[in-house]
């Protein structure tokens, strides 16, 4: 009789059973840890300094809209013929020494992939240099004067459509010496099967949403169309020629300054005064940077909000050069002509009081202000109704957006650092703004960050170096309005010079 050697004793059977359980539990724990640390969890670099947080901190835009870091680095290698040796920098992005990402880009690891995308500072940092000086100064919270966002968007749309943009080409670029991505066999498969197809699809979707940007007049450096892309991306508004007029289509706007937000509470801001809540303006801006109501990092934005509340306006660079007698005469003129709409400087800083300045933070109707109608027309009642459904279901749901009848009066603190002027950046200097429109520069160069301390603003006469030709006859670029007696354009030349001298002190 054969002996069944495989027969287990009852004790052995119980032991085997227990071992199986043990393995099941260990595997479950490993899976749970993997899920927690790799799939569900996200990693961000913490920046303790508020300025570093503003420049490089993540607000949550990477997850839904970001590019994997390796792709971000590979695209300038693949498209060197288009971007040149400067790569992303050719879109006016600012790189600081020792940083591998430009100002305004942040990183976050989600689903195990490191992604990069935009934060607030990409649009809200300006630079200037003084005449005869090569050093470039950066002002955090000043309007960007360099960013060519339209060119960057069109580049990404074209990449999505390019038949040469294949998984193999992307992998080769990532593994090139310039990027040094070292994708191994497994990672290459993940790129081929997951990363590349998703990216391609996302870029093609974006192409469908933003195709209309190709029909728009050039934005040039330092401007963005605030609301048309927002209409299309967030709400699928139709943007074809049958759905939108040429006036409303060409709505590119200058970037505003971000300092001293606390005294701006309750003012109707954005260029057309469409929202009186600072918190909503910030959350709305974050959507523009690519966050979604699900991915938004409200704590990260709250830190920026806090910092902006009392961020001081930048002081005029060479205060000793200000002609004090002229500035004093200018202060009197400013109090007489400008303060009721804009507020005024004071010994304790800018006076934002809306009791003393009844029109500050209010809207001047379009026929009275007379500036270019594009930005105003782009913001429609339908769109404001749609915006007020955003973040539905959360306590911070939008409720303050509204259609207004014109453009808002803003405080003019730090105004020397906010050129070019008016909502569409159509007037290069403060001195030009005090001339009637017929005497303002009609075609000028935008993109120099050399500061003109006489007329106050960036120089507008410097061709070359990729300067952008700003033609005021193009739709959306009109430089008319803010003129007539109430706006100081009838004053004498000496009085206008005095006003400009005074505005250096704000
Ligand atoms: C893509 C560029 C861009 C990004 C990114 C961006 N902004 Fe802005 N921001 C603008 C523009 C343009 C306006 C003016 C909008 C208008 O009225 O047309 C603006 C307006 C504002 C205003 C209102 C200022 C005023 O006085 O009216 C605040 C506050 C603001 N942004 C904060 C932020 C914050 C906070 C972030 C990041 C969460 C951010 N922005 C990201 C472009 C940007
Ligand atoms: C009736 C109200 C009113 C008066 C008076 C007024 N402004 Fe304005 N100002 C506005 C409005 C509204 C805008 C925004 C117009 C736009 O961007 O289309 C503006 C814009 C400006 C800007 C551009 C701001 C920027 O960020 O680009 C400057 C500078 C300015 N005004 C200076 C003055 C000066 C100087 C005076 C007095 C000589 C003056 N304003 C008088 C309403 C007024």
Contact 459, 452 (CB under 8 A): yes
Q: Which ligand is nearest to the CA of 269?
A: 1
Q: For residue 141, which ligand has an atom nearest its CA?
A: 1
Q: How many domains does the chain have?
A: 1
User: Measuring from atom 22 of ligand 2, which residue has the nearest CA?
Assistant: 422
Residues whose CB is less than 8 angstroms from the CB of residue 376 and which lie 6 or more positions away in sequence, other chains included: 272, 366, 404, 406, 407
Per-residue pLDDT of the chain (506 residues; tens, 9 = 90+): 556 666 788 888 888 888 999 999 999 988 887 777 666 667 888 899 999 999 999 998 888 888 999 999 999 999 999 999 999 999 999 999 999 999 999 999 877 788 999 999 999 999 999 998 889 999 999 999 999 999 999 999 999 999 999 999 999 999 999 998 899 999 999 999 999 999 999 999 999 999 999 999 999 999 999 999 989 988 889 999 999 999 999 999 999 999 999 999 889 889 999 998 888 888 888 887 778 877 888 889 999 999 999 999 999 999 999 999 999 999 999 999 999 999 999 888 999 999 999 999 999 999 999 999 999 999 999 998 888 888 888 888 888 899 999 999 999 999 999 999 999 999 999 999 999 999 999 999 998 899 999 999 999 998 877 799 999 999 999 999 999 999 999 999 999 999 999 999 99
Calculate how far, in angstroms, residue 126's C-alpha sits from the geometric centre of ligand 1. 13
**pTM here?**
0.91
Q: Which ligand is nearest to the CA of 418?
A: 2
- Is residue 158 one of the residues assigned to a domain? yes
Give the model's pLDDT for residue 350: 96
Is the residue at 195 inside a domain? Answer: yes
408 lines ligand 1 (CB under 6 A): no
Give 60's Cβ-side CA count (13 Å radius). Answer: 17
- Could you list the residue range(s) of the whole structural domain that residue 209 is in? 48-122+149-218
289 CB less than 6 Å from ligand 1? yes
| Position in ligand 1 atom list of the atom nearest CA 264 | 26
Structure tokens at 188: 């290459």
269 within ligand 1 shell (Cβ under 6 A)? yes
Residues 482, 489: Cα–Cα separation, whole Å: 8
Residue 230 lies in a domain: no
Closest CA to 418 of 223, 221, 148, 143: 143
d(CA 34, CA 26): 12
* Residue 74 domain-assigned (yes or no): yes
pLDDT for residue 62: 86
Exposed/middle/buried for 357, CB within 10 Å: 0-12, 13-18, 19+? buried
Ligand 2 atom nearest to 340, measured from its CA? 5
Q: Is 455 domain-assigned?
A: no
Q: Which among 252, 254, 272, 341 is the best mutation to test ligand 2's pocket, defined by most ligand atoms within 8 Å of the CB?
A: 341
Would residue 290 count as lying in a domain? no
CA of 425, closest atom in ligand 2: 27
Cα(467)–Cα(485) distance, rounded to whole angstroms? 34
In a domain, 364, yes or no: no
Q: Is 365 inside a domain boundary?
A: no
């Amino acid at each position: 009789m054969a002996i069944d050697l495989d027969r287990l004793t009852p004790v052995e059977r119980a032991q085997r059973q227990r071992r199986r359980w043990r393995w099941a539990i260990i595997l479950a724990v490993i899976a749970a840890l993997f899920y927690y640390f790799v799939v569900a969890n996200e990693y961000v670099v913490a920046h303790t300094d508020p300025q570093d947080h503003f420049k490089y901190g993540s607000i949550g835009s990477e997850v839904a809209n970001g590019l994997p870091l390796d792709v971000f680095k590979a695209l300038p290698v693949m498209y060197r013929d288009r971007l040149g040796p400067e790569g992303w920098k050719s879109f006016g992005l600012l790189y600081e020494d020792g940083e591998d990402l430009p100002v305004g880009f942040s990183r976050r690891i989600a689903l195990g992939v490191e992604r990069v995308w935009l934060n607030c500072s990409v649009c809200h940092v300006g630079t200037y240099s003084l005449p005869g000086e090569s050093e470039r100064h950066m002002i955090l919270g000043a309007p960007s004067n360099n960013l060519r966002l339209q060119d960057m968007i069109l580049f990404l749309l074209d990449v999505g459509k390019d038949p040469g943009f294949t998984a193999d080409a992307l992998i080769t670029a990532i593994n090139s010496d310039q990027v040094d991505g070292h994708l191994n066999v497994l990672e290459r498969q993940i790129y081929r099967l997951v990363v590349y197809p998703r990216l391609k699809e996302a870029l093609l979707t974006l192409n469908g949403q933003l195709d209309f940007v190709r029909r728009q007049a050039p934005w040039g450096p330092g401007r963005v169309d605030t609301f048309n892309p927002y209409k299309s991306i967030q709400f699928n508004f139709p943007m074809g020629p049958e759905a939108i007029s040429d006036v409303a289509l060409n709505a590119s706007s200058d970037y505003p300054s971000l300092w001293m937000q606390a005294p701006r509470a309750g003012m109707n801001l954005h260029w057309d005064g469409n929202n009186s809540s600072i918190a909503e303006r910030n959350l709305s801006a974050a959507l523009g940077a690519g966050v979604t109501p699900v991915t938004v990092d409200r704590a990260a934005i709250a830190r920026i909000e806090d910092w902006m509340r009392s961020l001081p306006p930048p002081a005029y660079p060479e205060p000793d050069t200000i002609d004090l007698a002229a500035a004093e005469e200018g202060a009197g003129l400013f109090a007489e002509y400008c303060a009721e709409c804009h507020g005024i400087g004071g010994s304790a800083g800018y006076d934002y009081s809306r009791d003393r300045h009844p029109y500050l933070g209010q809207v001047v109707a379009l026929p009275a202000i007379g500036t270019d109608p594009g930005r105003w027309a782009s913001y429609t009642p339908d769109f404001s109704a749609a915006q007020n459904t955003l973040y539905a279901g959360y306590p911070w749901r939008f409720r303050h957006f509204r259609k207004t009848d014109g453009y808002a009066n803003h405080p003019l603190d730090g105004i020397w650092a906010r050129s070019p002027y008016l909502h569409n950046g159509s007037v290069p200097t403060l001195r030009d703004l005090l001339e009637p429109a017929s005497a303002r520069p009609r075609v000028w160069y935008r993109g120099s960050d050399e500061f003109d301390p006489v007329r106050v603003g960036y120089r507008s006469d410097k061709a070359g170096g990729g300067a952008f030709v700003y033609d005021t006859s193009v739709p959306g670029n009109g430089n008319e309005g803010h003129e007539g007696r109430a706006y100081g354009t009838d004053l004498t030349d000496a009085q206008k010079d005095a006003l400009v001298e005074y505005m250096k002190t704000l």
